[in-house]
A and B are shown apart, each in its own frame.
Chain A
Amino acid sequence: MKILVSVKRVIDYNVKVRVKSDHTAVDLTNVKMSMNPFCEIAVEEAIRLKEKGVADEVVVVSVGSKACQETLRTAMALGADRAIQVEAEDGLDSLSVAKLLSKVAQEESADLIIMGKQAIDSDNNQTGQMVAALLDYPQATFASEVVIENGEAQVTREIDGGLQTLAITLPAVVTTDLRLNEPRFASLPNIMKAKKKPLDVKMPADLGVEVGSNVSIVSVTPPPQRAGGIKVGSVAELVDKLKNEAKVVS
């Protein structure tokens, strides 16, 4: 079985986000970039399936500028076998990325596509579902457990209010939630080895996809700041304030 995993290069999880002063975008100059945390979980899950003997090849793909090759090397250091970069400007919309990824999935004849449920920059939570729709594949989003058996994936999903288990036939798309697994760290020897693993570069035209979007950004602003309040000295004072000042407790 072949698994295709998509990864996205995004602002590092721990970096404080700053909006540009002209309010056109978030400032990414000289900011540490890393693999999107949900994509790390996707890579980890694929590697575990390979280690269990369920999968025999793990291919990683990223859509973006040359810089995302670094993210692909990271994924290969973690255990992916080879990589594909689809060369495109950074920040393409979900539908364009989904079109590119679905073409790659078809070319690779991937049996399972594992993706992060969302990227922590655009927070869209769309691309996996769109890939599934474009390929007319079943999907299991927000996965917290994946079991592959008899050409089927039994996936436990984190839904509002609890968990849901679906059985989907392969080929299929699975998107990862936070608790699916805990990603490993790459060892130095594996980082060295990853430099020699194959990395192909493709252009959107090679895949027959025209990228573009009808959505434009009007502005990006910092969120409204919450003014700090007051400190109260006792529980009694707190209850008094809640009853008589804020009037949220009767």
Chain B
Amino acid sequence: MSILIIAEHDNKSLKPATLNTVTAASEIGADIHMLVAGFECQTVVEQASQVAGVTKVLVADNEVYEHQLAENVSKLIVEVAGGYEHILAPATTTGKNTMPRVAALLNVAQLSDVIKVESADTFVRPIYAGNAIATVKTTDAVKVLTVRATGFDAAASSGGNAEREVLSQVISSDRSRFVKEQLAESDRPELTAASVIISGGRGMGNGDNFALLEGVADKLGAAIGASRAAVDAGFVPNDLQVGQTGKTVAPDLYIAVGISGAIQHLAGMKDSKVIVAINKDEEAPIFQVADYGLVADLFDAVPELEKSL
């Protein structure tokens, strides 16, 4: 039996989380197919067919799929679901929006945020904001999963040579209409895909001081993040938030600056390979998870760090 992966893309490029999902699929086994539903998304189709391990790319290229609305994409997935025992999507806001709809239409459960594959029917996922880890087994005929990218390495983006099948279904969703999108423009890597992240907390004092982090981020090619406290205080926009209610990240290096280390925040970053904490409060809980802790005033330490890199 084959596995179907729903590609995450913006009609221009395949998003990295898709590659992690391919690795999760390869741990389940079998033949891996990928669905690209979008509009004028030929470059995505090219990229998808080169991913190592993908043997077939299903292409639904039509105006109705331009914004990948859950209403019609879920129906499209259900129409092609027939031959698949597993349907996987990255646990991004797009995957989380669509996959429960797919599962409900198929009358099966959906497993969210899978971080480990035990076998073809048994999966591991965090619950209670990562404060407990559940291993669950499903006997549903079709297993519908979302995959947390940080749980799996990325599959190679080249080396594959998948065949293509063009889908003719055109399913419109006349009760849901795209109005607009405001995406944060940035030259920095996306938070969930960055290998280095430097995050600021309430200790930053105000939004302007986040400029201090930019110097270090430029030198390290890092993404900038923030704790919920910094977001709630209005220092930075919500999409920078790392934590239970924000983004879950697991970079090679995570530098927490002026972050106390509330459970809320730790839930989003504790799987990072190396954690550095800079905080003037020696008792801050962040030091309990940090590999390297520096008790110092961030306004001295961060500029010095920038200079020494």
Task: Enumerate chain A interface residues (CB-CB to B < 8 A).
Answer: 11, 16-17, 19, 26, 93-95, 98, 120-130, 132-134, 137-142, 144, 154, 157-169, 172, 178-179, 213-223, 226, 228-232, 234-236, 238-239, 241-242, 246, 248-249
Contacts and interface: CB of A to CB of B under 8 A. Distances in A.
Main secondary structure of the interface of A (DSSP, over half): mixed
Contacts of B309: 239, 249
A248 B140 contact: no
A153 B287 CA distance: 46
B227 to A, nearest CB: 14
A98 B108 CA distance: 12
A142 B93 contact: yes
Contacts of A133: 74, 100-102, 104-105
A141 to B, nearest CB: 5
A245 to B, nearest CB: 9
Given A126-B100, A129-B101, A17 B305 contact: no
Interface in B133-162: 133-140
Given A124-B110, A222-B132, 5 more contacts: A126-B100, A129-B104, A214-B108, A226-B270, A232-B294
B97 A129 contact: yes
Interface in B176-195: 176-184, 190, 192
A246 B274 contact: yes
B184 A161 contact: yes
Interface in B52-93: 67, 69-71, 74, 92-93
Nearest to A123: B127
Interface in B98-147: 98-105, 107-113, 122, 126-140
B289 A228 contact: yes
A221 B132 contact: yes
B187 to A, nearest CB: 14
Interface string B284-309: 00011111111110000100110011
A184 B241 CA distance: 24
A26 B137 contact: no
18 contacts: A17-B129, A17-B131, A94-B110, A130-B100, A133-B101, A138-B175, A141-B70, A141-B96, A154-B179, A160-B192, A166-B177, A169-B176, A218-B135, A220-B127, A231-B293, A242-B253, A242-B292, A248-B274
B132 A248 contact: no
B196 interface: yes
B96 A125 contact: yes
A214 B104 contact: no
Contacts of B12: none
A229 B296 contact: no
A42 B52 CA distance: 43
